[in-house]
Amino acid sequence: MPWLTQAKVLGTLTLPWDINLGASLQSTPGNEITAAYTVTSAQVTGLGRPLTNGTFTVPLIQPASMFGDRVLQLDVRVAKAFKVQGSRIRAMLDMGNLTNSSTVLLQNNTYGANWLRPAYIIPGRIFKPSIEVTF
């Protein structure tokens, strides 16, 4: 398996008016692309006998030679704290996958009509408001 580089950076920053800004950026390698073809005993001619297990899987692509697109994900949080009657209220807005990439995380690697059909992609852009009350 070749070396696959990944990078993850995160940080927070306090802005004027007590606003907190946090961000995380992830860049990870894409999934390995393979192609497996299953041969049955009925397809084998000239062997003079059936296959021992009835089938044999043939790799069509050399292992660790093809990879999918990199996963690049940017998540951001903006938060503001307020003090109200001895309680602390913190309003937050989390924004996930701001780049709105739709990178394939899992695909069908069995060679055929559905080869490389995505089974799972990175979830779309998401906005999540929340409030935290401390008393």
Q: Residue 101 pLDDT > 90, yes or no?
A: no
Contact by Cβ (8 Å): 62, 33: no
Is 76 within 8 Å of 22 (Cβ atoms)? yes
Structure tokens that stand for 43 in this block:
């397809």
CB-based burial of residue 44 (10 Å sphere; 0-12 exposed, 13-18 middle, 19+ buried)?
middle
pLDDT score of 104 more than 70: yes
pLDDT at 94 over 80: yes
Share of the chain above pLDDT 90, in %: 68
Contacts of 121 (CB under 8 A, 6+ apart): 102, 103, 104, 105
Q: Structure pTM?
A: 0.75
- pLDDT, mean over the chain: 92
**Would you tell me how many other CB atoms lie within 10 Å of the CB of residue 124?**
10
**Which phi and psi (to 5°) does residue 43 adopt?**
-85, -20
pLDDT category, 130, cuts 50, 70, 90?
very high
Tokens of 122: 């990175």
Q: Which two tokens stand for residue 71?
A: 């996963």
Q: Give the pLDDT confidence score for residue 42 in this predicted structure.
A: 86
Q: Per mean pLDDT, which range of 46-50, 75-79, 128-132 is the poorest?
A: 46-50
Q: pLDDT tens digit string along 64-82? A: 889 999 999 999 999 999 9
pLDDT confidence tier of residue 1, bands split at 50, 70 and 90: low
Higher pLDDT pick, 29 / 45: 29
Cα 35 to Cα 57: distance, rounded to the nearest angstrom: 10
pLDDT (mean) for 10-23: 96
User: Strand 19-28 relative to strand 55-59: parallel, antiparallel, unpaired?
Assistant: unpaired
